[in-house]
Chains A and B, each alone.
Chain A
Amino acid sequence: MSKKEILMCGNEACGEGAILAGCRFYAGYPITPQNELTAYMARRMNETGGVFIQAESEIAAINMVFGAAVAGARAMTSSSSPGVSLKQEGISYLAACELPCVIVNIQRGGPGLGNIAPAQGDYFQAVKGGGHGDYKMIVLAPNSVQELLEHTFLAFDLADKYRNPAFILGDGLLGQMMEPLQIPSRLESKTYDKRWALTGCSGRKPNIIRSLLLSEGALEEHNKRLQAKFSAIKEAEVRYEALNVKDSDLILVAYGSVARMARAAMSEARAKGMKVGLIRPITLWPFPEKILKETCARAKKFLVVEMSAGQMVEDVKLAVGDKAEVNFLGRMGGGIPSEEEILQHIEAII
């Protein structure tokens, strides 16, 4: 695969990943720190003959994506934390109607209007389901400009494969920073059968897209089917990066941009003779429980680092149970844990 390298910000890389995946429908609404993505899509949709709509609201944007997905298109919307809160209604409907699409959250500080600094306070919303009802999204957590492109590309395939919304959980740091990016000249994107899509009922019986199921037991059956699908995703799609987990006494757990600080702290700690490893969940749902469980056979201490008051740490605790001690370092409201801060915690715990 031949590759050219360019300098790009994370938000734009995310947009290019979508274009490479064949996304030709984007609807969004301006919000910092993801504005470069909306602007990039406006330009690229124009160049590729796709559809770009600056919607009247986040609510309208997600519902335009719903419509585009109904019509069988690869469609995307993006926003940042407060805007993603507005999209939750639509996300529940998309999941219920089994419509593939990609939603991007370049997180900022919260709650409320918060600020425009990087944060990871929307983990629960993304992973546990911010909308109503029992549903799951496939949640990918890139940690570089390169991964923002690659994960967005992957998200479209996963969404189509499972007929389910896929979600990119980034943050303002990843979205805004520029890094050298290798744009693959050729990426293989699969095409999926979309016989369910609404195209007009020419030569076939009419298709109906609905989540309203009123007859006795029908909704429970639908839910059981959705849950079976989620189980299949859990079985097949867990992704993570594990470094030095075989010989470590302490395992750092971090995702997204924080995982980069954690990795640097790990290297520093190992240089000082401390046996420290890192597990970086790449899919936040499905969560990499198995590797965490396996790691506790050796490592008896964990340090979870997040830009939140402690959200992913709950899933780490669920995975390791009473097999290891789980510590937490969190910064909120735009605070970013530094390499030194993480190292100090490692030294205090180990």
Chain B
Amino acid sequence: MSNIIRTKNAKDKIRKNSVLRPESAPSAQALKSDTQPAVVFCRPASLRDIETHYCAGCGHGIIHRLICEVIDELNIREKTIAVAPVGCAVIAYDYWDFDVSEAAHGRTPAVATGIKRVRPDNIVFTYQGDGDLAAIGTAEIVHAANRGENITVIFVNNGVYGMTGGQMAPTTLAGQKTATTLQGRSLRREGYPLKVLEMLAVLPGTKYLERVAVNSAQEVMRARRAIRKAFVTQMQGKGFSMVEVLSMCPTYWGMTPIQAAERIKNDVATFYPLGLVKG
């Protein structure tokens, strides 16, 4: 931890200097400050100061952070209730400094439905992987979306089951080798990769659906804007919002982090097109 710039007092610094401009460059006034160095980048207040358990090059850390930045920016930390998935992000509550509940694998949208219906004034979001959302929890996500539940879903699609050892996910690309598709995913044998957003887009209950990626700084900033828009959609009471985030799993893709980021651009995003699907 010693080589990381400590940001323990991030909250105070933000308030004192008012220099955090997440959507733009730090203000000139802040940069001129001569009393103490200006903070131009720090840990969001909603993100806990702990060591990561994610693998090198994994996208979860980036996505966790983006959510926290948006929650800080919208000033909804004390109103937020998150539902964590089963999968690599199962201990998301260790990272997030707001109320979080566990849910059984795939049942996340049902749990979020129960919470939001009881507490409509709270901001409720689920964080789900592709196994959680697109395989075991298919019924729950489709029906939560179809009911138009006023919740936000952050759907992390990295095309594998990371937690259990890199097995095929419903979103695994054709030909992709995994622990359970040793010769590569065969469309004839395993079927086609599932495009969940496009499926949900036909439902009147869904109000904002966008696919983003976290493989480059540019895409990360787009992802951040999409996550923000999803939360705002909920805050405005419009209904179901979901952001699918194409994310890297270098460990089970058998790649370096840089190769994994390249793969998103070259292979994954060509099958799962980035951009607004609905909204």
Q: Does B28 contact A (CB under 8 A)?
A: no
Question: B101-134 toward A: CB 8 Å interface, digit per residue (1/0)?
Answer: 1111001001111111111001100000000000
CA distance A61 to B107 in the complex (A): 10
Minimal Cβ-Cβ distance residue in B for A65: B114
CA distance A69 to B80 in the complex (A): 17
Contacts A25-B117, A60-B140, A198-B101 known; A210 to B93 CB distance under 8 Å?
Answer: yes
CA distance A23 to B110 in the complex (A): 19
Pick from B78, B91, B118, B140: contact of A212, CB below 8 A. Answer: B91
Pick from A55, A68, A198: contact of B81, CB below 8 A. Answer: A198
On chain A, the residues within 8 Å of B96 by CB distance are: 206
How far is the CB of A31 from the nearest CB of chain B, in Å?
A: 17
On chain A, the residues within 8 Å of B103 by CB distance are: 63, 66-67, 93
How far is the CB of B97 from the nearest CB of chain A, in Å?
A: 6
Q: Which residues between 46 and 80 of chain B lie within 8 Å of chain A, taking CB atoms?
A: 77-80
Minimal Cβ-Cβ distance residue in B for A52: B117
Asked whether, in the complex, the Cβ of A212 is within 8 Å of the Cβ of B99, the reply is: no
CA distance A93 to B104 in the complex (A): 7
Pick from B77, B93, B97, B107: contact of A63, CB below 8 A. Answer: B107
On chain B, the residues within 8 Å of A69 by CB distance are: 114
On chain B, the residues within 8 Å of A212 by CB distance are: 90-91, 102
Asked whether, in the complex, the Cβ of B102 is within 8 Å of the Cβ of A71, the reply is: no
Minimal Cβ-Cβ distance residue in B for A92: B104
On chain B, the residues within 8 Å of A200 by CB distance are: 78-81, 98-99, 119, 122-123
On chain A, the residues within 8 Å of B142 by CB distance are: 56
CA distance A60 to B109 in the complex (A): 9
Give the size of the chain B interface in residues (CB under 8 angstroms): 36
Q: Does A201 contact B (CB under 8 A)?
A: yes
How far is the CB of A116 from the nearest CB of chain B, in Å?
A: 24
Minimal Cβ-Cβ distance residue in A for B146: A56
Q: Does A18 contact B (CB under 8 A)?
A: no
Asked whether, in the complex, the Cβ of A199 is within 8 Å of the Cβ of B113, the reply is: no
CA distance A212 to B102 in the complex (A): 8
On chain A, the residues within 8 Å of B194 by CB distance are: none
Pick from A27, A71, A89: contact of B115, CB below 8 A. Answer: A71
Pick from B91, B97, B117, B123: contact of A53, CB below 8 A. Answer: B117
Pick from A56, A68, A75, A198: contact of B140, CB below 8 A. Answer: A56
On chain B, the residues within 8 Å of A72 by CB distance are: 118
On chain A, the residues within 8 Å of B118 by CB distance are: 25, 51, 67-68, 71-73, 75
Contacts A200-B79, A200-B122 known; A64 to B101 CB distance under 8 Å?
Answer: no
Asked whether, in the complex, the Cβ of A53 is within 8 Å of the Cβ of B99, the reply is: no
Minimal Cβ-Cβ distance residue in A for B97: A206
Asked whether, in the complex, the Cβ of B139 is within 8 Å of the Cβ of A56, the reply is: yes
Pick from A56, A71, A201: contact of B114, CB below 8 A. Answer: A71
Asked whether, in the complex, the Cβ of B119 is within 8 Å of the Cβ of A71, the reply is: yes
Minimal Cβ-Cβ distance residue in A for B99: A198
Q: Does B100 contact A (CB under 8 A)?
A: yes
Asked whether, in the complex, the Cβ of A198 is within 8 Å of the Cβ of B115, the reply is: yes
Asked whether, in the complex, the Cβ of A209 is within 8 Å of the Cβ of B140, the reply is: no
CA distance A209 to B83 in the complex (A): 9
Contacts A64-B110, A68-B115 known; A201 to B101 CB distance under 8 Å?
Answer: no
On chain A, the residues within 8 Å of B101 by CB distance are: 67, 70, 198, 208-210
How far is the CB of A98 from the nearest CB of chain B, in Å?
A: 12
How far is the CB of B69 from the nearest CB of chain A, in Å?
A: 17
Asked whether, in the complex, the Cβ of A90 is within 8 Å of the Cβ of B107, the reply is: yes
Asked whether, in the complex, the Cβ of B122 is within 8 Å of the Cβ of A66, the reply is: no
Asked whether, in the complex, the Cβ of A60 is within 8 Å of the Cβ of B90, the reply is: no
Q: Does B143 contact A (CB under 8 A)?
A: yes
Minimal Cβ-Cβ distance residue in A for B82: A198
Asked whether, in the complex, the Cβ of B122 is within 8 Å of the Cβ of A199, the reply is: yes
Asked whether, in the complex, the Cβ of A206 is within 8 Å of the Cβ of B99, the reply is: yes
Contacts A90-B104, A202-B78, A207-B99 known; A70 to B90 CB distance under 8 Å?
Answer: no
CA distance A78 to B29 in the complex (A): 62
How far is the CB of A161 from the nearest CB of chain B, in Å?
A: 20
CA distance A209 to B118 in the complex (A): 16
How far is the CB of A48 from the nearest CB of chain B, in Å?
A: 14
Contacts A93-B104, A206-B97, A212-B102 known; A67 to B139 CB distance under 8 Å?
Answer: no
Give me 8 other A-B pairs in contact (C-beta within 8 A), A59-B140, A71-B119, A93-B104 excluded: A53-B117, A56-B139, A59-B110, A64-B117, A66-B110, A67-B110, A67-B117, A202-B79
What are 10 A-B pairs with beta-carbon distances under 8 A?
Answer: A60-B139, A63-B103, A66-B110, A70-B111, A70-B114, A75-B118, A199-B81, A199-B119, A200-B122, A206-B100
Give the top 5 A-B pairs by smallest Cβ distance, nearest first. A67-B114, A63-B110, A71-B118, A202-B78, A63-B107
